[in-house]
A and B are shown apart, each in its own frame.
Chain A
Amino acid sequence: MHTEHIVPKRVYYAIYLILLVCTYLTWQVAVFDLGALNTVAALTIAVFKAVLVVLFFMHVKYSTRLTWLVVSGGVFWLAILLALTLSDYLTRGWRTYG
């Protein structure tokens, strides 16, 4: 089974540059005190970088729908793991004692 689409080299170089710039941004943003937004900014950039790697370096952008489904399934299950666990731990402080 071959990926019919051969990605041009310039796409790889462009993605590489964006990834490096994003790494620099993450590092610079971390120096400023943005409160809870520091984590939000760091994770947003990390997710953006991961999506670029998956779509272009891992060719998902050019892959079959079945591959899309498997990748989305993985992300969905990870989301369940995170959401259900954290919905417990992060809300424990909200308890009111009778």
Chain B
Amino acid sequence: MLGMWVFLVTEVLFFGGLFVCYSVYRGWYPDAFAAASHELILWAGTTNTAVLITSSLTMALAVHAAQGGDRKRLLWFLAATMLLGAVFLGIKAYEYDSEFVEHHVPGFGFAFEAEHFRHAQVFFSLYFMMTGLHALHMIIGLGIMSVMAWWAWRGTITDQYYNPIEISGLYWHFVDIVWIFLFPLLYLIGRHAH
């Protein structure tokens, strides 16, 4: 348990670097950031926030089921958590696709109103870095949950040995917390101005 917490602290500082980078650039280019943020698909970001919070609930309930030694409920809640994680990634993929079509991916094909052209690219670079790294953590989380589901299925997890479920849960909740910060910082800045 403690080992996972120490790992999560390193993860906090890993993501922290990106959040600091975001803060510095947003401090420099507030208008471009607001204009670029306005282009993100708000319903998708909001839905995904609710999806991840719900997956955190099912994860917490999975730990509860494991503590009670209820294998069937544990399997159901792990399946629900994985399904919600997959829904999140599906919506994220839909967003990436839309942003690609609208030429919001930084690089040669980037298109944006002339006034904010250069600095909006900074926003979208950070957006793809931060959400991409978060999505990678989600994919790893789904891998961990698959192993947990396998262990629960074959009966390795009992009411005496549910530590792996708790530890995996810590990781899953951490990834949820990262999104709790990403959502307002990426999707909601400058919603009132446009």
A97 touches B (CB below 8 Å): no
* CB of B22 to closest CB in A, whole Å: 11
Query: Number of B residues contacting the other chain (C-beta, 8 Å)?
Result: 49
A46 to B54, CA, bound (A): 16
Given A53-B177, A66-B2, A74:B49 Cβ within 8 A: no
**Docked-complex contact B64 and A6, CB < 8 angstroms:** yes
**Interface segment out of the listed B86-94, B123-131, B137-145, B183-191:** B183-191
B16 touches A (CB below 8 Å): yes
Chain A 21-35 interface residues, beta-carbon cutoff 8 Å to B: 23, 26-27, 30-34
Closest to A93 in B: B27
Q: Mark A1-43, 1 if CB is under 8 A from B, else 0.
A: 1110011010011011001100100110011111000110011
B84 touches A (CB below 8 Å): no
**Docked-complex contact B192 and A38, CB < 8 angstroms:** yes
Q: Mark B46-69, 1 if CB is under 8 A from A, else 0.
A: 100110011011011100100110
**Docked-complex contact B19 and A16, CB < 8 angstroms:** no
A41 to B112, CA, bound (A): 29
Across the interface, B17 reaches (CB within 8 A) one of A39, A53, A56, A81, namely A81
Across the interface, A33 reaches (CB within 8 A) one of B42, B188, B192, namely B192
**Docked-complex contact B181 and A46, CB < 8 angstroms:** yes
A73 to B181, CA, bound (A): 19
B136 touches A (CB below 8 Å): no
A-B contact pairs, 9 of them (CB 8 A): A6-B64, A30-B191, A31-B191, A50-B177, A53-B180, A57-B57, A57-B169, A89-B27, A90-B27
A contact set with B: CB distance below 8 Å: 1-3, 6-7, 9, 12-13, 15-16, 19-20, 23, 26-27, 30-34, 38-39, 42-43, 45-46, 49-50, 53-54, 56-59, 63, 66-67, 70-71, 73-75, 77-78, 81-82, 85-86, 89-90
Apart from A73-B9, A89-B24, what 11 extra A-B contacts exist at CB < 8 Å?
A1-B163, A12-B60, A27-B42, A27-B46, A30-B188, A30-B192, A42-B184, A42-B188, A58-B173, A81-B17, A89-B28
